[in-house]
Amino acid sequence: AKLKSFSAKIVQLLKEWTEAFPYDFQDEKAMAELKAITHRVTQCDEENGTVKKAIAQMTQSLLLSLAARNQLQELREKLRSPAMDKGSVLKAKPPATQKDILGVCCDPLVLAQQLTHIELERVSSIHPEDLMQIVSHMDSRDKHRCRGDLTKTYSLEAYDNWFNCLSMLVATEVCRVVKKKHRTRMLEFFIDVARECFNIGNFNSMMAIISGMNLSPVARLKKTWSKVKTAKFDVLEHHMDPSSNFCNYRTALQGATQRSQMANSSREKIVIPVFNLFVKDIYFLHKIHTNHLPNGHVNFKKFWEISRQIHEFMTWTQVECPFEKDKKIQNYLLTAPIYSEEALFIASFESEGPENHMEKDSWKTLRTTLLNRA
């Protein structure tokens, strides 16, 4: 009798939960608990069957949502091609006639717009419950790092991998160029692309590009860098300076957020934060503050703050990209061969020989490895 008196409220709660967070029920234990609750509630409604009907509709919608997501993940898994490891076959640099990014797109603004397209498409597949995995897995396994938690859901893992692939692609495009003059041009091009990403509000691509240019095989090319006009690059690095918990970046992000809130067009609404920093913010917010207050009550202030940050992030992911899609450029960005770290060093040493004993030892080891493989 008591259960019957508030069964309608239970059904309403479950309906809202399954509609807002359907992927909570991918877990077999959660689905079993849902079935047990709905079975008990259904037994209290033998008269007119309204509760039974509502539960049947709710269950059907939930199963459809879960099926749709599983199909999407299977499709992405098929389409996802592993990055090519050139380390085992690279003996000399590719011919100068081989296509590079400048042969596909020589306009930094256009490339920044296409990167923004890819970012928004990938980030739109991330759901609130994916982000809450960071918190829930930290509760179950008290680890002192958060990157491992990114593999708990495919969407987070795929988006994290995209950042790494873009960084490695930038490094590959620079290191594979034969002539110093062209390498200089390539570096200046990517600096301009990163600056355009910053202006758009695409901080994730901007950070990935900077990371790629700061990788050791690229950073060590001193003769090439000496020809680069680095003033623009210095400004970008200033924005992404890690000191004071990335204070400069957070100021820029706040400015982009305010612009987005006041925006009249989709172009001005774009905010794509550096995803790894966003994840770490959620991680530390959860780590620093307790779930319960000293009196035993739930620490709602903590969870409201986590909720606010996730809600803000989800608002950014729902912005429609205003730029026209260029399939040719996107195809290159997503499928161009990427060198392994070993191959990057080989290409880098071929461009500019080792300058100290440490580099000479590294180069000797790499050459020996290649000869053994051959």
Residue found under tokens 């880098």? 348
CA 231, 204, 161 angle in degrees (round to 5)?
A: 125
Least confident of 67-81, 183-197, 327-341, 352-366: 67-81
Summarize the confidence of residues 44-67 as an average pLDDT: 82
pLDDT at 275 over 60: yes
d(CA 213, CA 233) in angstroms, rounded, equals 10
Structure confidence at residue 143 (pLDDT): 47
Q: What is the pLDDT of residue 4?
A: 78
What length is written for the chain? 374
Question: Which residues have CB under 8 Å from 333's CB, separation 6+?
Answer: 114, 115, 118, 166, 169
Lowest mean pLDDT of 42-46, 93-97, 99-103, name the range.
93-97
In 104-127, which positions are buried (b, 16+ CB within 10 angstroms) versus exposed (e)? Answer: bbeebbbbbbbbbbbbbebbbbbb
- Which residue is it, tokens 């040493």? 349
Query: Do 206 and 198 form a contact (C-beta atoms < 8 A)?
Result: yes
- For 211-234, b/e burial (b = at least 16 CB within 10 A) is bbbebebbebbeebbeebeeeebe
CA dist., res. 215 & res. 167, Å (int): 8
d(CA 305, CA 314): 14
Contacts of 136 (CB under 8 A, 6+ apart): none
What pLDDT score was predicted for residue 147?
Answer: 43
Query: Is the pLDDT at 223 greater than 50, yes or no?
Result: yes
User: For residue 84, is pLDDT > 50?
Assistant: no
State the DSSP string of 12-40: HHHHHHHHH-GGGGGSHHHHHHHHHHHHH
* Distance, CA of 326 to CA of 116 (rounded, Å): 12
pLDDT value at 91 more than 50: no
132-135, long-range: CB within 8 Å, 24+ apart, which pairs?
Answer: 132/310, 134/279, 134/282, 134/283, 134/286, 135/282, 135/283, 135/286, 135/306
- Total Cβ atoms within 10 A of residue 364: 11
Decide if pLDDT at 148 tops 50.
no
> Is residue 58 within 8 Å of residue 16, measured between CB atoms?
no
Q: pLDDT tens-digit profile of 300-323?
A: 999 999 999 999 999 999 999 999
pLDDT tens for residues 127-141? Answer: 887 888 777 666 655
Fold (CATH) for 101-141+149-339: Son of Sevenless (SoS) protein; Chain S, domain 2 (1.10.840)
Mean residue pLDDT of the chain comes to 85
Q: Please state the rounded mean pLDDT for residues 284-290.
A: 89
Q: Where are the domains of the chain?
A: 2-72, 101-141+149-339
* CB distance 205 to 116 below 8 Å: yes
